[in-house]
Structure 1
């Protein structure tokens, strides 16, 4: 099952992160090849943070991910 992954690219003066859909079973292999890849578990919009609703937002995302297992 594909999930949201993030690859981090470090340049000479800046760092960039790109999200993509990929199969997490390859993460270890990619990391062994020297790539900086992580699984994105939660995504929070800026307006949610400003409204002070980050914890409930993440709790709902975690519950939704858990419910999708079944």
Structure 2
């Protein structure tokens, strides 16, 4: 049994297979695109900076 109903699957069959009685769709409006992109870029940049800082500290500690 599949975990999700993808494109090309008969909706009635999929609903019956998962014992569901209706669809639910949740989405972000188009106006959220760039704020979400910038938030994700900021989090990725922060994680990269943290990883680089940890690598530099580890490298300095092992070379001393």
Shorter-chain TM-score above 0.5: no
- TM-score where L is the length of structure 2: 0.31
Q: Which has the higher contact order (CA 8 A, sep 6+)?
A: 1
- TM-score where L is the length of structure 1: 0.29
Structure label with greater radius of gyration: 2
Q: Which has the higher helix share?
A: 2
